[in-house]
Amino acid sequence: MKICLVTDQHLGGKAGSIILNDIQKKFYTDIFFPYLDKYNIKRIINLGDLFDVRKNTNTYILEKSKEFYFDEIYKRGITLDNIIGNHCTFFKNTNKVNTPSVLLKEYNFNVYDSPQDIIVDGISLAIVPWICSENYEESLDFIKNTKSQILLGHLELQGFEMYRGSVNHHGLSASLFSKFDKVFSGHFHHKSSIGNITYLGAPYEMCWSDYNDSRGFHIFDTEKRELEYIENPYKSYHKIIYNDSENNIEKLLDFNTDIYYNGYIKIIVEKCNNKLWLDKFRDKIEKSGTVDIKVIDIPDNDKEVLSGYESNNVDDTRSLLKDVIIALDRPKEEKEKISNLIESLYNEASTM
């Protein structure tokens, strides 16, 4: 039997953004459900953070999410298992009041707010939802005593990247899970694996932290016990290097802008000899239906600054901080120390 594993869907994310809702709809309509239909997959396990906002519900987003996601699951007769993540809980100290239970009652989907074993296709799976103060001891006892060899959860583990380039130093030690053959987890949006533990990653881009970082979902084969990754081809965040030193205006404007619809764009100006050409270049991209577009001028021949903009940014706040540090008139070694300090402070603040 093949099971679909998906996590950190964050429906209603970015403060109920209609743009993000459209991006999510396109993924599920064009990629997700056609794949499930093609291979007749009848079970989905969501590993947490199905919804983004724990405190209130955007009625419009809920209606649209039901139309393109939950109704499509229900009419196909697919079983949906929801593991509670930290974004699903109304209270921080308990999982009992959560968005999947409250908002999806009419579908009769499965919701797991406490650790337990479930049987799928004759295989025992250990389910561990978000570990909070109320279920901390219960969860550790369960992890220690369960006989299941495969664990699925929404875990915060030390040593894994939350976003590409940003390692988490809080939470549980990965050594607590050494007894399991395989551990699959949600929570961190960057897909990564260390030993027997795999963070599955989010299914689509939601902020600049996701730029140039693969997104998608997984299929787990219960017979072969193998995990297959299905990549989402759609991108929402784009960086474009502009250089008109070796081009004419016709060549500069000879490109397809369809991929930039509903996109967030950074045009990084490496070389600009003609401001009018740059304006036309920007206008063509903007007319494709972009959400946001920024033009960033790079000092002439400053390779360090250019490489900084070409690299992955962790999120909007981190991106701004890195931009400021890169532009400082300081030795490279000093800027690296400042960057490491800022990163440490930001990570600490984000967990408070």
Give the tens place of pLDDT for each residue, 286-319: 999 999 999 998 765 555 555 555 555 444 566 6
Same domain membership, residue 181 and residue 119: yes
CATH code, 97: 3.60.21.10
252 within 8 A of 263, measured Cβ to Cβ: no
Give Cα 333 to chain centroid, integer Å: 32
Same domain membership, residue 282 and residue 248: yes
Same domain membership, residue 254 and residue 220: no
Same domain membership, residue 272 and residue 223: no
Closest CA to 348 of 151, 169, 209: 169
Same domain membership, residue 345 and residue 197: no
Share above pLDDT 90 across residues of the chain, in percent, rounded to a whole number:
72
Domain that holds residue 326: 239-350
Predicted local distance difference test score (pLDDT) of residue 298: 77
Residue ending a domain, among 194, 212, 231, is 231
pTM of the model as a whole: 0.85
Give Cα 161 to chain centroid, integer Å: 12
Task: Measure the CA–CA gap between 311 and 324, rounded to whole angstroms.
Answer: 15
Same domain membership, residue 293 and residue 149: no
Predicted local distance difference test score (pLDDT) of residue 323: 64
Q: Does the pLDDT at position 30 exceed 50?
A: yes
203 within 8 A of 196, measured Cβ to Cβ: no
Closest CA to 29 of 249, 165, 225, 204: 204
Residue ending a domain, among 231, 254, 269, is 231
* Main-chain dihedrals φ then ψ at residue 37, nearest 5 degrees: -65, -45
What is the per-residue pLDDT across 91-109, written as a single tens digit (0 to 9) for each?
A: 888 988 888 988 898 999 9
Same domain membership, residue 267 and residue 211: no
Task: Measure the CA–CA gap between 57 and 36, rounded to whole angstroms.
Answer: 28
Same domain membership, residue 197 and residue 164: yes
Helix, strand counts (H, E) of the chain? 12, 17
Same domain membership, residue 314 and residue 177: no
Same domain membership, residue 247 and residue 218: no
Same domain membership, residue 195 and residue 169: yes
114 pLDDT band, cuts 50/70/90, is very high
What is the per-residue pLDDT across 123-176, written as a single tens digit (0 to 9) for each?
A: 999 999 999 999 999 999 999 999 999 999 999 999 999 988 889 988 999 999
Tell me how many domains the chain contains: 2
Hey, what long-range contacts does 156-162 have (CB within 8 A, 24 or more apart)? 156/131, 156/187, 157/185, 157/197, 159/194, 160/188, 160/192, 160/194, 160/197, 160/199, 161/188, 161/190, 161/192, 161/199, 162/188, 162/189, 162/190
Task: Measure the CA–CA gap between 200 and 7, rounded to whole angstroms.
Answer: 7
Same domain membership, residue 131 and residue 207: yes
Predicted local distance difference test score (pLDDT) of residue 242: 94
158 within 8 A of 170, measured Cβ to Cβ: yes
Residue ending a domain, among 231, 263, 280, is 231
The more confidently predicted of residues 137 and 321 is 137
